[in-house]
């Protein structure tokens, strides 16, 4: 064990004041958690009592009924399409708003604040709420699902794009302005090429999230595999439910892996 004599590697020790502060924070956190558990009616005893019920439900899922598999191809494809088109719509909404919202693009203040506000609204209303709204508006099926994902993810992606744009190197942009290129041309040739890797990466990630999300959207009538899933639950066909859950697990895993590989290939 040799370390240079000039800089002895001593552990920085907490002062008494530091220790008191640490204790105070821990105590405060514990009190807050206890209080919030109370309002949840979180109760260990209740949980233990319901264990056998949960166990019975799980037992009824076995063995999974694989006969549903045949009918799952269509809904699975629907779910993937919802996620795909949801992400596409999200990019179409998010990119222009993201550009307008980015500080360094110098949009007029009114427009910038407007774009930020729209992005905030789209983002803070969950895709489930959007889906209920769109199902009511355009009817049952995958289409309202894609719209709901597109709108909510558009808000998220727009914000991420704006942050990516704010981190670009401004020098090429200035060089393009100096050639006489107009604002839009300068964005196309200096901003977009610089943020493209991040855009691709974000889109792939949110496509993954979209696949998981689309299965949930199905449950409220927005088509896809989630719709089949909730139907089997309502009919107490728990063995079919199990098979469908396993299919979703496999699907999400494959998508996660594939997009991770793709992202590395494109961005790297």
Select from 107, 120, 194, 231 the one that contacts other proteins (CB under 8 A): 194
Select from 174, 253, 266, 267 the one that contacts other proteins (CB under 8 A): 174
Question: Per CB under 8 A, does 245 bind other proteins?
Answer: no
Q: Which is nearer to other proteins, 123 or 173 (CB)?
A: 173
Number of residues counted as binding other proteins (CB under 8 A) = 21
Question: Per CB under 8 A, does 180 bind other proteins?
Answer: yes
Question: Per CB under 8 A, does 200 bind other proteins?
Answer: no
Select from 141, 172, 212, 237 the one that contacts other proteins (CB under 8 A): 172
Select from 3, 106, 171, 234 the one that contacts other proteins (CB under 8 A): 171
Q: Specify the stretch interacting with other proteins by CB under 8 A; choose among 22-30, 79-87, 173-181, 247-255.
A: 173-181
| 204 vs 263: CA distance, rounded Å | 7
C-alpha 235: how far from chain center: 31
Question: Per CB under 8 A, does 212 bind other proteins?
Answer: no
Q: Specify the stretch interacting with other proteins by CB under 8 A; choose among 63-71, 171-179, 202-210, 238-246.
A: 171-179
Question: Per CB under 8 A, does 265 bind other proteins?
Answer: no
List residues binding other proteins (CB under 8 A): 171-172, 174-182, 184-186, 188-190, 193-194, 196-197
């Amino acid at each position: 064990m040799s370390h240079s004599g000039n800089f002895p590697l001593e552990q920085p020790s907490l002062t008494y004041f530091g220790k008191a502060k640490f204790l105070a924070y821990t105590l405060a956190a514990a009190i807050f958690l206890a209080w919030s558990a109370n309002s949840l009616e979180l109760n260990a005893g209740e949980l233990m009592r319901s264990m056998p019920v949960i166990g019975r439900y799980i037992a009824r899922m076995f063995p999974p009924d694989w006969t549903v598999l045949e009918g799952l191809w269509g809904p699975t494809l629907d779910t993937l399409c919802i996620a795909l088109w949801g992400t596409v719509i999200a990019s179409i909404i998010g990119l222009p708003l993201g550009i307008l919202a980015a500080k360094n693009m110098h949009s007029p203040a009114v427009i910038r604040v407007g774009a930020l506000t729209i992005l905030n609204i789209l983002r803070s209303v969950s895709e489930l709420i959007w889906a209920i709204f769109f199902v009511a508006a355009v009817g049952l099926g995958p289409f309202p699902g894609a719209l709901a994902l597109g709108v909510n993810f558009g808000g998220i992606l727009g914000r991420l794009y704006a942050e990516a744009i704010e981190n670009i190197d401004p020098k090429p942009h200035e060089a393009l302005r100096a050639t006489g290129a107009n604002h839009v041309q300068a964005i196309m040739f200096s901003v977009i090429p610089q943020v493209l890797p991040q855009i691709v990466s974000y889109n792939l990630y949110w496509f993954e999230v979209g696949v998981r999300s689309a299965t949930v959207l199905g449950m409220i009538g927005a088509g896809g595999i989630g719709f089949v899933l909730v139907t089997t639950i309502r009919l107490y066909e728990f063995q079919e439910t199990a098979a469908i859950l396993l299919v979703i697990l496999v699907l999400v895993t494959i998508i996660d892996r594939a997009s991770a590989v793709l992202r590395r290939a494109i961005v790297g």
